Amino acid sequence: MGNKLPVSVCLVASNEGRRIGRALDGVKDWAGEIVVLLNHDVQDDTETVAQNCGARTFREPWKGFIGQKNSVLDKCTQPWVLNLDADEVVSDALRREIHTLLQSGSPAHDAYEFPRCTRYCGRWIRHGDWYPDRVQRLWRRGQARWTGLEPHARLEVQGTLGRLKSDLLHYTNDSIAHHLSKIAPYHADFIQQQISRGRPVNGFELVVRPAWRFFRAYILRCGFLDGWQGYYIARFNSFSTLTKYAMTLEARARQKVSQP
């Protein structure tokens, strides 16, 4: 393995040929292994790009975010695992921290979290609800599995959790239009869960929660320091919160109409 670290970098990807190369370029020179799990119906050049970066690639039917993430995890062989998304890049500072940690011989913890910094409309967002956005992405293989409720996968760690200081870089939505297009699909699983539980939407969730989301992000968490992008993100998160509960009410109303 030469000078490479004992870590498997793993990704789950669909049609990500345009973005995945940047993610893999950031790890291919030092990761002991790269494993990419593709949806079976991928149609672009994602697989070719991944293989050109030295990745082992697999194709499987979609099993949900949690199922796919655990499936690619099962294919990793190195002592440590680093999970990335196709729109994320390991910064030079984070790479150095990981190198120092894994070369120490005996890391103090079984898993590590680190901040994720998002690039949005030409600006790195360093305040509000989007930062530091700490994510648990590095762990000792065998000490963690993905759990949670779709589409929100959560890493459940068996052992202790440490913290690194450097940023994982997140190149998220290409435009506001792209960001807006994700609202309805993103909320679909949430709405289904609310309906199946029979849990009513109350006034707090419909009126107070969206207002609180904006106030917390823009004022308490200093989103105003991120320029117009910070203002828009706070407003968007507030609108998204309102939308998911309003869509739940809409779905319940349709359900009642369809009942005999």
- When pLDDT is cut at 50, 70 and 90, the band that residue 1 belongs to is very low
Q: What's the number of domains the chain is made of?
A: 2
Q: Are residues 167 and 191 in the same domain?
A: no
- The residue-averaged pLDDT of 103-109 equals 89
Q: Are residues 81 and 127 in the same domain?
A: yes
* CATH number, residue 101: 3.90.550.10
Q: Are residues 162 and 195 in the same domain?
A: no
Domain limit, last residue, from 171, 189, 215:
171
pLDDT in tens, 44-63: 999 999 999 999 999 999 99
Q: Are residues 98 and 200 in the same domain?
A: no
The reported pLDDT for the residue numbered 259 is 62
| Distant-in-sequence contacts of 148-157, Cβ < 8 A, 24+ apart | 148/66, 149/189, 149/193, 150/64, 150/65, 150/66, 150/189, 151/64, 151/65, 151/186, 151/189, 152/65, 153/65, 153/66, 153/69, 155/83, 155/111, 157/110, 157/111
pLDDT at residue 155 above 60? yes
pLDDT at residue 171 above 90? yes
Q: Are residues 66 and 127 in the same domain?
A: yes
Higher pLDDT, 123 or 255: 123
Q: Are residues 140 and 30 in the same domain?
A: yes
Q: Are residues 218 and 91 in the same domain?
A: no
The reported pLDDT for the residue numbered 224 is 98
Residue 90: domain span:
5-171
Q: Are residues 21 and 80 in the same domain?
A: yes
Candidates 92, 80, 86; CA nearest to 55 is 86
pLDDT at residue 8 above 90? yes
Q: Are residues 127 and 157 in the same domain?
A: yes
Higher pLDDT, 205 or 96: 96
Q: Are residues 75 and 19 in the same domain?
A: yes
pLDDT at residue 225 above 90? yes
What does pLDDT average to over the chain?
92
- Report the distance separating Cα 159 and Cα 156, nearest Å: 9
Q: Are residues 33 and 148 in the same domain?
A: yes
- Report the distance separating Cα 191 and Cα 237, nearest Å: 17
